Structures are given as C-alpha cells and as structure tokens.
Structure 1
Amino acid sequence: MNRALRTLLVVACTTGAVLSSLTVAASQDGTSRTPASAKPLDGMRILVSNDDSMQAAKASNADGLGLYELRKALCDAGADVVVMAPWQVQSGKGTAVTNGGTLTLAKRIQLPAGYENDCSGTPSGSPVYGICLSAVPCGPDSASATPSDTVKFALRTGLAAKAGWQDGPDLVVTGINSGPNVSAQVNDSGTVGAAIAAIDQGVPAVALSSSGDASQMRFPVANYRAHARFAAGFVAGLRARDLFTDRFALKVDYPDVSAGQRAKAPTWTKVGHGQVVWHAYEAKSGGDQDSYDIAMGLCPGRPGDPCTETVPDADSTALLERGHITVAPITADRTYGVRTDGGRELRRIEQYVTRYAPRS
C-alpha cells in the first residue's frame, strides 16, 4: 500500500462527523496551517449531483433530501457548492448517458422547508438545478437526464454557463443516496455512475450513500445529516493532506444511526461481489400474459446463491453486518487496487479475445 493510500486510511479513521472539528486543517506533518477562524473548505468549488433527483418531495425521503443535507454541510464548511442533478429519480441508471435530444435546466427557486437559508453568500449563490430531457421547460412529467448526463453536462458546459466556473470544480460529490450502494449493486448505482463520469473527465470525486429502513423503504433525515457532517470532515481531511485524485473515485457508505447508535469507525474495504438487492419479475395478474411487474427487495441470501458474499473485506459485510462507515476506491471496472480471484481464467479469456475471437 502506497503512502497516499495509507494516509487516506488515517484520514478516514480520524475525521469524524462533527463540524466543530473542522475549524483547523492539519497538514501532513500534523501542524496547523489554517487559522482557527477559517473554514476548512474555504475557496473550494464543489459540484453536487445524485441519482435521486432534486425534488425532495416524498415522505420516504427517497427523492433527493440527502442532497440538501450534503449541500448544507459543505457550505457550512466553507465550500462554494453548485447542484446539477437529475430532474426525476434515476436510481439504478448506473453510468447510462443520453445520446440525443435536448437538455433543459430548471433552477429551483423555493428550496425544501428548513433549507431555505443554506449556502447564503457563496460566490456562485449555490444554485440548485434539475436537468430534464426536454426542449421545453421541465414539467412534472418531463423525462430526466441521467446522473452521468448531469455531471458531463456540468463539467463540459453547465458550470461555465451558469456559475462562471470556467476551469471547472475542484471536486464532484454525488449523493447522499437513499440506501447503501455496496457489492454487486454498485454496477447499477447512478450515484457511483455520476462519480465515475467525473473521474473520466479528470475531476476527483466522492460518492456518498446512506442506509435506511430497507423493509419500509424509508430514509431517516438523521442518517443523511450524520453522513453529510462526516462527509464534510472527510473531504476537508483529504484536502488538507493533498489527497484528491482522479485516478479513482472514493465510495463512502454510511450505516443506519437513526435509533441513536453511533457509526463505527471508517474502514477500508473492497467492493463485494454478492447481491444485496434482488430484482424479481412477476407475471402481471389479470393482464397481458406478456407483462411482468418489477419487484425489488433484499436478496434471499441462501448459501451458495448469488446473494452470498465471497470477497474478503467486502463493503457490504463491514457496513451492513458490522455497522462501519465504509470507504472503497473505485473505477469504471470496480477493481482499483484489488487483486481479483480467478486470475488463470481471466488470463485465458483475455488471450482468447486478443488472439482468437472473431473479428467481424
């Protein structure tokens, strides 16, 4: 493990979810180089997106409320934050992009109750935009841009046009997602997909997801708030130690703390291979025999089935079974810094592809 990653582990284990600890930024030698009156993210420009939309209208808190807790925490720590997020919920879209049509921005004028005065006085004004796929103003039924769409648009055009950030943001933070993104479901995650879009454009990124009550599909504000405060401290520590990188994104998942329990210390994990969320397809009763309802729930978890986690130090195990905050490095192939099993089979397939597979 190189020095940068060792330092990252120290950051993850020492930055807490308490904003009062953010008033002093430590350098690598442990000495303070920031006046106590300064904020640790002063002067930093951060793009925020997600896959849950920017609506924050549902009682379940599953449609973007975590985004507003994150925006508040980052601004409170001194950052200038601009939100460009999907217009509608885009959960499960992964790294999907839209290849044609028109994107339209809808600036949110009235923020959700309790968040109206957040980010006042920032250089950009910290606007919140939802992005729809439409040639006319976004309406209730407008199709939505995907999470990756929003990040690519923001980095290539949107931030310069709407915030005056000609040279882009210093960091992209995605989330806070309603529900964890761990193990095999990372492939589906629009929250992670948006972070991957950022590093593909050369911008460091952090993807945040919080646990909730999976049985009721409800996501307590307490979890978002705790994770947002932790995230602000985590980003501040990375900044103080010059650890931002676009070689990989950091995926940070937060346990359920809504009953008053404390999250266990951050731990460095790998992206697991087991399935936590299970999609089932049930024939629609009384209807067309070719129609099937999509049902989503927790994987049944029978030994040996796809639900079984086989990766040591998997993110899902540390988060869901042990209650830790989990941090995992991730790239488009989910494997940065991870030595996978099945190396011989992998080499054989690679040889087939490069030497013997049909070329047309």
Structure 2
Amino acid sequence: MSAASPSAARRPRVLVANDDGIFSPGIKALGLAMSEWADVVVVAPDVEQSAVGHGITIRRPLRFKHTAAAGFGDIPAYRVDGTPADCVVLGVHLLGPPDLVVSGINIGPNLGDDLTHSGTVAAAIEGLTLGLPSIAFSQMSNPAGEYEFGASAAYAAKLAREVVARGLPPRVLLNVNFPAQAARGVRVTRVGAHRWVDSLLTRQDPEGRDYHWVAGVSTAHDSDDESTDYGAIHAGYVSVSPVRLDLTAQDLLGEVEGYAPAL
C-alpha cells in the first residue's frame, strides 16, 4: 500500500474533479458527500468534456476561476476552460497536493474500453501520475434516463475514507460504477469487454459542405459474468475495479523478443 494516512490531527484534503462540468449534479453530490469528513476543493471543467480521454492542454493558456454559482456552499470551487486532466494538474499545483483525488460522479457508466477515452477516468489517472491515490466514480441512468446520486455519493464517501486510511498500491486507481437502481451489494470486479462499435454519419451544411458526426452503439460480451464491471452493474451491484497503470503485455515480452528484427 501507499504511504501512511494523514495525521489524525487534521482532516484529509480531497480534490474533486469530473468531465461533465462544474454544474453537473453528480459532482455536486460527490463534493458535498466528501465534505462531511474531509476538506474539499472542487476543480472542474467549465463545460462538458466527456470522452476527451487523458488530454492535456499545451497549445494555449488555461483559465482558473473561482465560482460561487455551482451550488457547493462553503466548498471552494474552481472552473477551468480545459480538460479533466488539466483540472487535476491546476488544482494540485495551484492549491497544493491533496490526500486523495476523486472524479465524478459521472452521468453514465465507464466500463471496459470506456476507460481509454473517459474524461472521468482520465482525471483519476492524472492524480495517479502525480503520485496521489485516486478514484473514478460513474453511474448508470434509470430506464427514464434519470439519475439519483444520494446513495452513490454516500458510498463513494465511505470508500474514499477507506482509501485514505489504507492507501492504494503504487500505480493503481479504483474505477467504481453504480447501477441505476438501489444496489444489491458490492462486487470487486475485473475490467470487462464493454466497448462501442463506431458509426459515422455524414450530412451537409447549408452551404453544401460535408460534415461528419461520430456515433456508436454500446456492446458487451460479458453481461452475464458478474466478475466483470459490466456484468456486476447490470446485475444490480456496485462495481469496484482496481486498475493498474501499466500498459506492458508482460506475458509477451519473450515472444516479441524472439521475432523483433535486429538493427
């Protein structure tokens, strides 16, 4: 596990970010739940940044502005005109390193291959690369397309307290997904096979020029396997997946060495 937990003489410090933007009800619920046991600061994009992945803005300056209009009460909240990863970078460097980075609660799940393009998960990855314990939280909608974040935020706060107290192994974050309805329990899961099959819609603007819209259909091959993130939340459980930031296919090192041409 990571370094020792914060001193009992002070409250832990938690940085809350997301990709849905500073005005999302999910981040409001998460920030308020965390503030019950920690000193919280919110740093989030000023507009929605879903599916931007782990992008970092390096070609233009970024604006970091305090906002009192997002409904966080006494919690300091800042808006950034950049990506979720930008928010974590600026929050850590301008406000000081927290004891924990949490991201979410995302409107919609982040499962399987979603992790590669999710801005929610990217904010947690950025915290991890800065050496900070990090958790990403996401939630499915109910059949009417609505969200109720109260129970999810309460569980997120309980899990976050455990992570602050116990730490996480180096280079490991937690990716947590909540079902649409009241959860039946909790499953510690592996990342499953959920992915999107892309489609491309081509239309013409009023001047007759083509434009393109990327769309897609959600697919999964393991919806009946409750040991996966996708299967667990579709069975009504909270899914908690430990994700290691190590992209090396360790089992293939010897095989590739056998056919990699010499110079």
Does TM-score exceed 0.5, indicating one fold? yes
Asked whether the equivalents of residues 171 and 245 of structure 2 are also in contact (C-alpha less than 8 Å), the reply is no
RMSD between superposed Cα atoms in Å: 2.9
Residues 3-46 of structure 1: per-residue CA shift (max 9 Å, x gap) = x7xxxxxxxxxxxxxxxxxxxxxxxxxxxxxxxxxxx9961100
Asked whether the equivalents of residues 205 and 246 of structure 1 are also in contact (C-alpha less than 8 Å), the reply is no
State whether structure 2 residue 228 is matched by structure 1 residue 314. yes
Residues 258-296 of structure 1: per-residue CA shift (max 9 Å, x gap) = xxxx30211111111331x44321121576464222334
CA distance in 2, matches of 1:41, 1:295: 51
After superposition, residues 80-119 of structure 1 pair within 5 angstroms as 80-112=39-71, 115-116=72-73
Aligned amino acid, residue 198 of structure 2: H
Moved more, 225-234 or 280-289: 280-289
Residue of structure 1 in register with 2:162 after alignment: 237
Residue of structure 2 in register with 1:211 after alignment: 140
Asked whether the equivalents of residues 283 and 289 of structure 1 are also in contact (C-alpha less than 8 Å), the reply is no
Asked whether the equivalents of residues 173 and 207 of structure 1 are also in contact (C-alpha less than 8 Å), the reply is yes
- Which of 241, 252, 255 does residue 348 from structure 1 map onto? 255
Asked whether the equivalents of residues 171 and 246 of structure 2 are also in contact (C-alpha less than 8 Å), the reply is no
Structure 1 unaligned regions, length at least 5:
5-39, 57-63, 121-125, 133-144, 160-164, 302-306
Asked whether the equivalents of residues 186 and 239 of structure 2 are also in contact (C-alpha less than 8 Å), the reply is yes
SS at 1:193 equivalent: helix
Structure 2 unaligned regions, length at least 5:
2-7
TM normalised by structure 1 equals 0.64
TM normalised by structure 2 equals 0.85
After superposition, residues 242-261 of structure 1 pair within 5 angstroms as 242-257=166-181
CA distance in 2, matches of 1:351, 1:192: 35
CA distance in 1, matches of 2:105, 2:63: 23
Structure 1 residues 231, 351: closer, same or farther in 2, change over 3 A?
Answer: farther
Aligned length: 255
SS at 2:63 equivalent: strand
State whether structure 2 residue 99 is matched by structure 1 residue 179. no
Asked whether the equivalents of residues 44 and 84 of structure 2 are also in contact (C-alpha less than 8 Å), the reply is yes
Residue of structure 2 in register with 1:26 after alignment: none
Q: Whose strand fraction is larger, Structure 1's or Structure 2's?
A: 2
Residue of structure 2 in register with 1:327 after alignment: 240
- Which of 119, 124, 131 does residue 80 from structure 2 map onto? 131
After superposition, residues 274-293 of structure 1 pair within 5 angstroms as 274-275=194-195, 277-284=196-203, 288=208, 290-293=210-213
Residue of structure 2 in register with 1:158 after alignment: 94
Residue of structure 1 in register with 2:13 after alignment: 45
CA distance in 1, matches of 2:128, 2:254: 27
CA distance in 2, matches of 1:283, 1:350: 44
